[in-house]
């Protein structure tokens, strides 16, 4: 595989993985109407965010770990397919890139879902009306 194509695939994988880390800007929308704890919404948002980050186990390292595992599995699969078609090296490179992107995205999305669920649950358990 051409080095430029491989570099482009690796760059794309890193962009996709970093795109999964949208946790930093998301927070649930809370309706303060008839909320007996409306005065505590901002404080609870901050505290629940910290708890959700811990619960989800999200870190850029987790996404990178998923990318490495996916890349290793993809390289092995790609090499086997490539060997059957006459180019194990090209197959391994394509498989590693595809597996790395998939593994990183999966880890990032899993952490993102766990984060949002924990954040929403925390706010609801504190008595707030969460809309999303």
What are the extents of the domains in the chain? Answer: 60-132
- Give pLDDT, residue 100: 55
Per-residue confidence (pLDDT) for residue 20, from 0 to 100:
47
User: pTM here?
Assistant: 0.55
Residue 110 is predicted with a pLDDT of 79
CA angle 121/125/127 to nearest 5° reads 125
Helix ranges (H only) for the chain are 3-19, 41-56, 60-85, 88-125
Furthest-apart CA atoms within the chain: distance in Å: 69
pLDDT 10s digits, 34-66 = 999 999 999 999 999 999 999 887 655 655 655
Residue 9: closest CA among 95, 126, 130 = 95
3-state secondary structure of 27: coil
């Amino acid at each position: 595989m051409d080095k430029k194509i491989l570099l482009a695939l690796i760059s794309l994988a890193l962009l996709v993985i970093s795109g999964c880390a949208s946790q930093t800007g998301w927070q649930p929308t809370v309706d303060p109407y008839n909320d007996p704890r409306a005065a505590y919404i901002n404080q609870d948002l901050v505290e629940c965010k910290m708890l959700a980050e811990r619960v989800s186990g999200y870190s850029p390292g987790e996404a990178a770990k998923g990318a490495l595992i996916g890349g290793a599995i993809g390289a092995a699969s790609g090499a086997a397919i490539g060997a059957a078609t006459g180019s194990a090296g090209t197959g391994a490179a394509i498989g590693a890139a595809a597996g790395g992107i998939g593994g990183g995205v999966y880890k990032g999305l899993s952490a993102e879902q766990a984060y949002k669920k924990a954040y929403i649950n925390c706010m609801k358990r504190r008595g707030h009306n969460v809309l999303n």
